[in-house]
Amino acid sequence: MEFDLLLKNIARHVQLDQTEIGFFTSLLEKKKMKKKEFLLKYGEICKTENFIVKGCLRVYAVDANGFEHIVMFGIEGWWVSDLLSLWTNSPTTYYIDALEDTELLQISKSNLDALYERVPKFERFFRIILQNAYSAQQLRINQNLSFTAEQRYLNFIEKYPSFAQRIPQKQISAYLGMTPVFLSMLRKKLSKK
Amino acid sequence: MEFDLLLKNIARHVQLDQTEIGFFTSLLEKKKMKKKEFLLKYGEICKTENFIVKGCLRVYAVDANGFEHIVMFGIEGWWVSDLLSLWTNSPTTYYIDALEDTELLQISKSNLDALYERVPKFERFFRIILQNAYSAQQLRINQNLSFTAEQRYLNFIEKYPSFAQRIPQKQISAYLGMTPVFLSMLRKKLSKK
DNA sequence: GTGATTTCTTCAACTACTTTAATTTTTTTG
DNA sequence: CAAAAAAATTAAAGTAGTTGAAGAAATCAC
pLDDT in tens, chain A (193 residues): 789 999 999 999 999 999 999 999 999 999 999 999 999 999 999 999 999 999 999 999 999 999 999 999 999 999 999 999 999 999 999 999 999 999 999 999 999 999 999 998 999 899 999 999 999 999 999 999 999 999 999 999 999 999 998 999 999 999 999 999 999 999 999 997 6
Greatest distance between any 2 Cα atoms in chain B: 58
Per the structure, the count of domains in chain A is: 1
Q: What is the CATH number of the domain that holds B38?
A: 2.60.120.10
In a domain, A154, yes or no: no
**Partner residue opposite A141 with nearest CB, options B83, B87, B140:** B140
What's the confidence (pLDDT) of residue B83? Answer: 97
Closest-CA residue of chain B to A174: B145
Predicted pLDDT at B2: 83
In a domain, B141, yes or no: no
> Is there a domain that residue A152 lies in?
no
Q: Is A102 helix (H, G, I), strand (E, B) or coil?
A: strand
Q: Do residue B69 and residue A142 have CB atoms under 8 angstroms apart?
A: yes
Question: What does the angle CA B104 – CA B108 – CA B113 come to, to the nearest 5 degrees?
Answer: 135
pLDDT of residue B193: 61
Q: Could you tell me if residue A26 is inside a domain?
A: yes
Burial readout B154-179 (b: 16 or more C-beta within 10 A, e: otherwise)? eebeeeeeebeeebeeebbbbbbbbe
The pLDDT assigned to A193 comes to 61
Q: What amino acid is encoded at A8 in this protein?
A: K
What's the gap in Å between the CA of A86 and the closest CA on chain B? 11
Q: Would you say residue A38 lies in a domain?
A: yes
Nearest-5° angle of CA A124, CA A98, CA A93? 70
Claim: this prediction has a pTM higher than 0.75: yes
Where in the sequence is the domain holding A105, given as residue range(s)?
4-121
CB neighbours (10 Å) of residue A118? 13
Question: Is B10 inside a domain boundary?
Answer: yes
The whole-number mean pLDDT for each consecutive block of 10 residues of chain B, a chain of 193 residues, reads 93 96 97 96 98 97 95 96 96 97 97 94 92 96 97 97 93 98 97 76
Q: How far apart are CA B56 and CA B136, in angstroms?
A: 19
* Domain-embedded: residue B148: no
Q: Is residue B176 part of a domain?
A: no
In this complex, the answer to whether residue A154 has its CB under 7 A from any atom of chain C, a nucleic strand, is no
